[in-house]
Every structure is written in structure tokens, then in C-alpha cells.
Amino acid sequence: MVSLVFLMRDKGNNEVVSSTIITIGFILGLIIVPLTLICYLGVLIKKRTLQVPLWLIIANIIFLFILMLYILFINVEDNHSS
């Protein structure tokens, strides 16, 4: 959401703030998505029922795979350029 606001209002004048927001979003994605899936797994093991909709669990798993592919893509590009 914040990135969209910067895209609409700030036409590249403040690159430091934009890159900081992107980096914070990337780091939070690395922490929150796996932690959420671990919590889902813990609740499923304990109670055998989830109060979370199935579409939300599937969306989080898809986002985790996208994030892992993105990290893999960055690492492969860095290794080929060196």
C-alpha cells in the first residue's frame, strides 16, 4: 500500500525511502509468511481443526513459494555475474 502511494505521489525523487520500504517489506515477508505457516501447522496438530479459511492457507503457501523462488533467482543472478 505504501509503495503504491509512493508510486502515485513521488516520481523518483526520494529513492532512499522507496528502497527502504521495499527492503522492509522483503524482510517482513521472510519472517511473517513462514511463521504464519508454522502457526497453522501447530494449531492443526493440536486441535485438528482450523478457524482459518482454506483459501488463506493456500495463498500463504503460494506466497512462500514465490518468495523462495525470488530469493533463488536473486542468488542465481549474483552467482552468474561474479
Instruction: List pLDDT tens digits, range 50-68.
Output: 677 888 888 888 888 888 8
**Taking 60 as the threshold, does the pLDDT of residue 82 lie above it?**
no
Give me the domain span that covers residue 57.
Answer: 2-81
| Whether residue 7 has pLDDT greater than 60 | no
Q: What is the pLDDT of residue 29?
A: 78
CA 75 from centre of chain: 17
Q: Which residue has the cell 493440536?
A: 46
0.75 exceeded by pTM: no
User: Which pLDDT does position 46 carry in this prediction?
Assistant: 83
Chain segment 14-44, per-residue pLDDT in tens: 677 777 777 777 778 788 888 888 888 887 7
Torsion, CA 76, CA 1, CA 18, CA 24, rounded to 10: -60
Total tally of structural domains belonging to the chain: 1
Looking at residue 33, what is its pLDDT? 82
Where would I find the H helices in 1-82?
Answer: 2-9, 15-47, 54-81
